[in-house]
Amino acid sequence: MEQEIKLIDDDGKRLDGRKADELREIKIEAGVLHRAEGSCYLEWGNNKVVAAVYGPREAIPRHSQDPLKAIVRARYNMAAFSVDERKRPGPDRRSREISKVISEALEKVIITNKFPRAAIEVNIEVLEAEAGTRCAGLTAAGVALADAGIPMKDIPVACAAGKIGSKDNFGKKIGGNIVLDLGKQEDNFGDADLPIAISPRNGEILLLQMDGHLTVEEFDKALDLAIKGCNIISKLQKEALLQKYQVDVEAY
List interacting residues with other proteins (CB under 8 A): 33-38, 46, 48, 50-52, 54-58, 67, 70, 75, 77, 79-86, 89-91, 111, 114-118, 121, 123, 125, 127-130, 146-155, 199-201, 238, 241-242, 245, 247, 249, 252
Residue 92 DSSP SS3: coil
Q: What 8-state DSSP symbol labels residue 13?
A: -
Smaller CB distance to other proteins: residue 6 or 184?
Answer: 184
**CA dist., res. 142 & res. 229, Å (int):** 16
Q: Using alpha carbons, select from 115, 114, 105 the residue that is nearest to residue 197.
A: 105
**DSSP H stretches of helix in the chain:** 93-109, 133-147, 184-189, 216-243
Distance in Å, CB of 173 to other proteins, minimum:
29
When the beta carbons of 31 and 176 are compared against other proteins, the nearer one is: 31
Q: How far is the CB of 251 from other proteins (least distance, A)?
A: 10
Closest approach of other proteins to the CB of residue 1, in Å: 19
Nearest-approach distance from CB 111 to other proteins, in angstroms:
6
C-beta closer to other proteins: residue 46 or 185: 46
Query: What whole-number distance in Å separates Cα of residue 246 and Cα of residue 234?
Result: 19
Distances (CA, A) of 159 to 52, 172, 176, 223: 20, 29, 20, 10
Task: Provide, rounded to whole angstroms, the least separation between the CB of residue 249 and other proteins.
Answer: 6
Q: What would you measure as the largest C-alpha separation in the chain, in angstroms?
A: 73
Which one, 56 or 132, has the nearer CB to other proteins?
Answer: 56
| Residue 103: CB minimum distance to other proteins, A | 13
Q: Which residue in 109, 116, 200 sits closest to 150, CA to CA?
A: 109
CB-nearer residue toward other proteins: 6 or 87 = 87
Sign of CA dihedral 133, 136, 142, 143: negative
For other proteins, which is the closer residue by CB, 11 or 250? 250
